[in-house]
Amino acid sequence: MTKAREIMTGGAECVGENETLEVAARKMKELDVGSLPICGEDNRLKGMVTDRDIVVKCVAEGGDPRTTTAGSLAEGKPVTIGADDSVEEAIETMEQHKVRRLPVIDGHDLVGMVSQADIARSLPEDQTGELVRLLSY
């Protein structure tokens, strides 16, 4: 059974909960990613912020990404996967919560991210289409 830690992209960078959305957007650009984990002062995961969140929940509503904090967009308990959880569990979690990326946690530490693409690369070619079907919404 393949584990999340075996297919994840390691070294996930966070945006601090008190950093601005402008900082988050710049980090996304530098890293060429569409989302970032939001980490608190205690280095614990507080949520996720996406490029779409910045546009829809801040800019489109007249907010200022230079003053709006990433933490202000963190809603509820973040959806995660354990580093030793199976790829099948990651797929189920993504499907259930309608997400395409999952922070990978080892204890309380963020150790990486698993994306739909990471999972697709780990599956036999004949199962990739089924994965896309399950996670399309």
CATH number at residue 18: 3.10.580.10
Q: What is the dihedral of CA 57, 70, 101, 85, to 10 degrees?
A: -140
pLDDT band with cut points at 50, 70 and 90 for residue 38:
very high
Reading the block at residue 125, the tokens are: 């070619």
First to last CA, the chain: 27
pLDDT per position as a tens digit, 42-94: 878 999 999 999 999 999 999 999 999 999 998 778 899 999 999 999 999 99
CA of residue 98 relative to chain centroid, distance: 12
Please, what is the average pLDDT of the chain? 88
State how many domains the chain has.
1
Its pTM stands at 0.83
Percentage of the chain with pLDDT > 90? 64
Mean pLDDT to the nearest integer, 106-116: 91
What strands lie across the sheet with 81-82, from one edge to the other? Answer: 9-10, 109-115, 101-106, 81-82
Residue bearing the bigger pLDDT, 129 or 15: 15
Is pLDDT at 131 greater than 60 in this prediction?
Answer: no
Task: Print the domain residue range for 62.
Answer: 4-135
